[in-house]
């Protein structure tokens, strides 16, 4: 197991990587209805939870970001784009699939789609 200081350092690194990816994606997709950068930015507070650096439930700020992200994904096209974004960016940030699966229920998002690396974003 990792020492707490190593987990904190990894979590800080992940949040920094998420922020850098969000800024790059926002610049690349500024004209989109909801960009991948918007999605990643909304989930930055969830970084520590999603990579397993903290035990227990996600933070309130994480859940607020996830709820805001759910509101941004108001159309089928936006939901497909969000699905593809998270499918592509999640593994590069070290997101644990089990943690990603838990987030909707823990944050009371009220979504019934499966959260999995095998989710078909076209459905």
Place of tokens 């974004």: 85
- DSSP conformation class of 120: -
Over the stretch 85-109, which tens digit does the pLDDT of each residue have? Answer: 888 888 888 889 889 889 999 999 8
Q: What's the pLDDT score for residue 60?
A: 96
Count of H-run helices and E-run strands, the chain: 6, 0
Q: What's the pLDDT score for residue 123?
A: 79
pTM of the complete model beyond 0.95: no
What is the C-alpha separation between 55 and 109, in angstroms, rounded? 20
What is the C-alpha separation between 87 and 61, in angstroms, rounded? 22
Q: How confident is the model at residue 63 (pLDDT cuts 50, 70, 90)?
A: very high
Q: What's the pLDDT score for residue 62?
A: 95
Where residue 108 falls (left for φ over 0; alpha for ψ -120 to 50; beta otherwise) is: left
Q: What's the pLDDT score for residue 12?
A: 55
Nearest by Cα to 84 from 34, 41, 57, 120: 120
Reply yes or no on whether the pLDDT at 3 is more than 50: yes
Rounded to 10 deg, the angle between the 76-92 and 4-28 helix axes is 140
Over the stretch 11-58, which tens digit does the pLDDT of each residue have? Answer: 555 554 555 454 444 444 433 466 888 888 899 999 999 999 998 899
More confident residue, 1 or 122: 122
């Amino acid at each position: 197991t990792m020492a707490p200081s190593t987990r904190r350092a990894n979590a800080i690194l992940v949040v920094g990587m998420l922020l850098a990816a969000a800024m790059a994606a926002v610049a690349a997709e500024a004209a989109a209805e909801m960009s991948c950068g918007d999605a990643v930015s909304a989930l930055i507070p969830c970084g520590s939870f999603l990579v397993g650096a903290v035990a227990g439930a996600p933070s309130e700020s994480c859940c607020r970001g996830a709820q805001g992200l759910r509101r941004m994904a108001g159309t089928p096209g936006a939901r497909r784009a969000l699905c593809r974004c998270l499918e592509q960016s999640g593994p590069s940030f070290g997101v644990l699939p089990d943690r990603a699966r838990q987030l909707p229920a823990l944050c009371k998002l009220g979504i019934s789609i499966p959260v999995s690396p095998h989710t078909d974003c076209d459905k």
